[in-house]
Structure 1
Amino acid sequence: MHSIRTSVRTRIGTRIGTRIRTALVVGATLLGTVGLPAVGAGGAQAAVTTLYVDNTAAGCADAGPGTRSVPYCHVAAAAAVAGPGQTVEIARGEYEETDLTITRSGTAGAPITFRGPSPYEPGYGGSAVIGSSAHPGGGLTVRGARYVVFEYLEVEAAAGRPVVLADAARDVSFTGVSGTGGTGVRVTNGSARVSYARASLWGAQGPVVTVDGGSTGTVVSTNSIISSTGEDHASVLVDSAPNTVVVGNSTLGSCSPGIVLTGASVGATVENNAVNAGRDIDSPCDTWSYMATGITVAASAVAGTRADYNVVDSRSGGTPYKWAGAEYADQPSFTAASGQGAHDFVSPTTFWRGPDRPLNHLIDSADENAPGMLATDRQGKTPVDDPTLPNTGTGHGTRDRGAQEFLGVGSAYTPAGPVRLLDTRSAIGVPSAQAVAAGGTLDLAVTGVAGVPATGVTAVTMTVTATGPTQDGDLTVYPHGQARPGASTLNWVAGRTVPNQVTVPVKDGKVSFYNHSGGTVHLIADLAGYYGVTGDLFHPQGPTRVLDTRAPIGVPSAQPVAPNGTLELPLAGTAGVPSTGVTAVTVNVTVTDPQQDGHLTVYPHGGAAPDTSNLNWTAGRTVAGLVTVPVKDGKVSFYNRSGGTVHLIADLVGYHSAEGRIAFYPGGPTRVMDTRLSWGRPYYRPAGTVPAWGSLTVFANGGSYPASATLNVTVTEPGAAGHLTAYSGVGPVPDTSTLNFEAGQTVANQAVVPVDPTASTVVLHNASGAPVHLVVDSSGSESY
């Protein structure tokens, strides 16, 4: 969900409730303008660059020097003496200042700065609070002062008192100065060039932010603002204040008006705001809908005013626009009549992801060049590119509207192979040709090579092959630099060559391979593609059988592939795959009845077969493996690298194309199920085998609304030969296979499985006449 995703009311209440309440109230109430000692007068004062305020310090003294060792107890004490170029550092705690009024000025090149702890820096331990939940005060007032900066404070104002008041103030900025209660924030009495940004405000007795009294050049930017329910109090009211800028804010009107310009508020800019006047994020206002107007600009404020790139929530039941006295129910009519809002949307401002949800018009769509726009969002986060939505904004095109950047974006896939990245037998990807030692780890650089970008890569997909193992064992492929997980990628017996596709997150540009055996093993890795901020999006399909040379399916007649022969399989326009625009497919390929040892190479149609492999077999064995392969001319090719014939089966599980709403969220590898042990998701399951012809339900880890799960599935201790089918669990078990096994064999295969949308689960079906144990590791999910 985007915009105001968590109620500011809840967040502020939580932070207040967990603050350290050890403030020492020393002496009578102090005013920032009278009755205070002149500390460090003359030249000595100018030499001090930082004054400290900490009422939790045992030696704090308002008559002291304001040093780190002897700080002031009250902010007012520092405010009475601070001069140009000085910074007042305010420690976390609650400061019961009945009336904190700032009257002293800095200069253009040397402002006075009041700074609390930043929640976005390491070591943050809580806020500096003006007032307290038990004793809210008179708020923070700047009266007649110039060139003053306030950063990262919280203000709890008493009834009838402002959270922040800029009274005849000039060139004053408030960044991260949040508050609750009182009469909100007000800029008035001819103030000029006051900015108020990156704050959270809630619960004002009146408009939450008011700019009036002939104030000019005020900027209200990148704030989360919630107004009181059922009162005709705007989230932002601009009254007779020319050239005001209201940009990048997220407002929740609670059945009150959103942004209102009235009086002579000409020359204003209202852009990039997410305006929601609903009852509670997504609820209509019913009888109060007449007050739930999105954006209102009076006729007296129209001249020179620009309103565009806003999203006005459509669910309040109120009028989205009132412009020069006329009401407009939608963006087209508003734009046609006023010439404004050409890039506006009347649509939801908060979202849950899912296949049937409307497009989120807030994402990657802001006017980055609007006046007052900040480089980062309310929490200091830089914009990120959501690969599932077009970049329709100005500038970089990736800035979101509203106060909060949507950061929970997935990754897109770029086919880049197959190409060999690692072969320990011939010193590819490693400095010398040597096997990986028993219990050894190999780190492989996967970015900046073979066409993979040097930065921005979140995961890679590779076919990994273990060959020449001297003892039984298994391999774990995982992100470089992380603790080795309790998961496995493939299993082998001594002397056997075993491949498996793996999708693994990338860290520091590398992935790691751990040889979990008592003997040496050679490793091969063939790149299929990589994930990052740009690329193609996945579309789960099936699983659907698209090739079976025994049947025949996908070929004109039932016959095996000849020795060293090539089979070309058309996929575009079949089994739900579009006829154009497909860049890659993911298929589960099975080799059966091979007459001689060999391996299979799956590659884009039209070129020569690369020196890579996807499946390895010994004569007479049936083996399966997942393959993600680029599509060319709508086809893929299969090359039988052996001296004997072989039958091929392929089950389609999805395709990639430029358009789509599903992105990949890499994670893990993480063990999510082991039937040899007891597990609790999606239900409590005691240890025990999956029975013959029985099924196991597994929870799909990943994004907020998974469409398919990327799993590594291992069958172990099977009592009879058979195969495993992974599917969504919706409908009957499909006539496809994910992996094949023989009695007593341990075998693994990666599976990309559509998810049951009602339960976020997948089902693994044991198609054999005896029980099996299953081990399941998650590598992430394709999610909305």
Structure 2
Amino acid sequence: MLRPTRATVLLTAGLVSLLGMPATAAAAEPPTDLYVDRTTTLCSDSGPGSDAQPFCTISAATRTVQPGQTVHINPGRAYNEDVVINRGGLPGKPITLVSELGDSAKFRLAPGKTLTVSGASHVNVSGLDAPSGIRVTGSTDVGLRALTVTNNPDSVTIDGGSSDVRLQHSKLKTSVRVESARDVVLSRNEIQGYVHPAVVAWDATGLVVTNNTIRRDCEAGIKLSGGSTGAALFNNVVHTDFEAGCADPGARYGIEVAQTATAGTRADYNLITGPFTADRIAYKWAGATYADRTSFHAGTGQGAHDILTPTSQGVGAVDGSPTIDSADATAPGVLLTDGLGREIGDDPRVPNTGKDGGYLDRGAFELYNNLVAVRAELEPGWAPAGTPVKVKATADSRWLAGLTYTYDFGDGTTPLVTPATTADHVYDKPCACTVRVTVSNTARQQVFTQLSAKVTANTPLTAAFTAQPVLPKADAPDALVLPLSVEADAQSSAMPWPVDRVDVDFGDGTKESRSTLEPVRHAYKQPGTYKVTTTLKDIKGATSTAERNVEVGYTPAGYVAVRPARVLDTRTTNTPVQGGAATPIAVPVHYYSSGPHHTAGASAAVLNVTVTGATEDTHLGVWPSGQARPATSNVNVKAGGTSSNTVTVPIGADGKISAQLNSGKASLIVDFVGYYQPDAGQRFAPITPTRVVDTRTAGGALGGGQTRTVKVAGVNGIPADATAVALNLTGTGATENSHVIAYPHQDQRPTTSNLNLEPGKDKSNQAIVPVGPNGTITLYTNSGSTHLVLDAVGYYGPNGTTLFTPVVPQRLADTRTSGKLAPGAATTVTGIPANALGAALNVTATDTTGPGFLTVYGHGGVRPGASSLQTRSGETVPNHVTTPVADGRVTVWNSYGGANHVITDLFGYFTRG
């Protein structure tokens, strides 16, 4: 609930002066304010009426208010009560009722309820909406301001011998009746008479009716009767063309003064609108009627400066109105603020025809200057020091004459104050200056605008630029950032004049042009060193070129595991892949309820790729789209067989990868299981391969359609908060063709697979599996039965130590050029970056003489007991291998089963980042 601040209390004190009351004498202690608020449950009429516990009703406050106190009334809900003020203040210490939120948010009485000031003195009421009326009777020194009354005839009444009553700045859809009262002032009100005259007086001596806008229904706009002598009627606008149902259909008048009321009564500077006909007459004075100003002045001596117009159109606070600057500013009851509280202003477009050359407007409302805004242009806005510049200002104002412009050029020089709409200036040194243009009018309104001036050194154009990799932001990981993106920014160039054209040659055959000096982005298709050239041309025709070599490479990234999604299955489209033709595959990096969606922020994808139904023995290679097909391979398959493998591959500049069969035809199935992205995901911790489960020694074979839950986190050196685990998954003793799925949540099995099995063959595949509840994963096989062996090779999570950097797939070693790896022998593979702590490899065993297995581990380390891939006599067997690395080398050991050729391909490596 809002409460008035100290400033509000001070403004209320100012309001007392505005209402024309005597100045308040200083008191030793400020009066205690009272509060009324029926919107709160804390209110109580038996309480203190404090801010903390306000009264519920206005009447409770008026019964207790003391001289000098102000009652702040919350306008939130209408007050269903008749309010009577029958106690008063003292000279200089009035009692005051105000809306707690100011005059624009009036406190309201419910329909049918009224305000009465009876037998009281020194009372102020401001910001009241009293639909059913207000009465002041037998009271003295009463100020009524900013009131609204909407219903009933004669619902504003001042009578009973009241004196010194001021009704100001109010909107009244009712007649105002003043009877048996004296020294009443009506000023700056909008009064719409209802059935009876708008202002009607009887025995009201010294009545002042000044600067009101009056619309009368019947009889007269202003009507003085009885002994209403000594009245002053000035600066009013009286519309006679407004009417409703009238009880008396007789003649109607703008101003009507009875013979008994003419003594000492004066009328001038009023404006009366027609149409003027036999029953619509401007004046009736002492029983005589006058149709025009000339005859009225001649017959009465009044109205010498009155204006009569045949219609109300164009009359009021509008351009061209005859009310503008034509009133008497010395008339009794004049206020220098209009009905909306705005200060008066001199319209410089019209002559000042008011008394003694004054510029007060007639009626309740002033034509407001309404200085809304100013716009400014600086030409040139960018130039070297010593260049003359010009500011041109355009004000949005009702009238432009009389405006003052202040130009502050922001360089410490003295601001220029002038009536001119333009200003010239010369900066003597470079700066990024703010130019401020302020416009003022005669009503003391001000508006301003600011614009930037770029003042440069007076030197030749010299191109320069920076080239930085563009990476996804941690707070916007899904932003469109393609791998290997670089941003060239030439804003560091020395540019005395604005640039007209920026040309960037990225060194790979791609060129970009811009008309503004903004950073230019480009996604390269592959890593490398490129010569980037930037050429600038400014608006004066000068050109300059800069070039530099830019290293483009992949950025270390964290791993983001996703719900596995099948992104390609050529069996459903009957479009098998064919040897010699690359197949593009769009890679998603998020999976939503509507399906997988690609969002270009990832640098590499992790896939499970299956080849089935091959027409001949063949192999499949996977690589980034847009790059040349490498010599590496990922999946080897025999004719008629099914083979799968995990693939980690960089994403191409178009957001895709390419896959190509070496020969023959086959169906291709691609499952998306995760991705690497800079500034996202989890770090990886490689570990010495560790056996997690072996159903041959515990639990028995997994039957078709069955599941088995295995704990993988919180055991075997893998922390409990790991989010995903890299496993080598081996199937042995399968009784029929089947597939195995490893997944995190037992009740949310995906349709993708991790390992395809054939009876009588041991098969391995590496999988990165998100960790499920309580550090577990679930295993499932669709048919037959099989033994499963799981070896952990690393994990992802908060305790991870490394980030992944993808590389263009490259072959590190191939024993087919150096001789087979004998049973029990080991070979060292080099070519991995020296700072690598782990690597993502594709290891292939071929030309095998007997079944066995290969184990890959960090060079110089202790060989683990776990295997990395199962070898089979006469077959080519690949597997994705994630392994620790030492000194840029790994060791591949061959079991005692048979000799093998071993092919090792690198797809990325792990570093501390």
| TM-score when normalising by structure 2 | 0.41
Please tell me whether Structure 1 or Structure 2 has the larger radius of gyration of its CA atoms.
Answer: 2
The answer to which structure, 1 or 2, has the higher relative contact order (CA under 8 A, 6+ apart) is 1
Which structure dedicates a bigger proportion of its chain to strand? 2
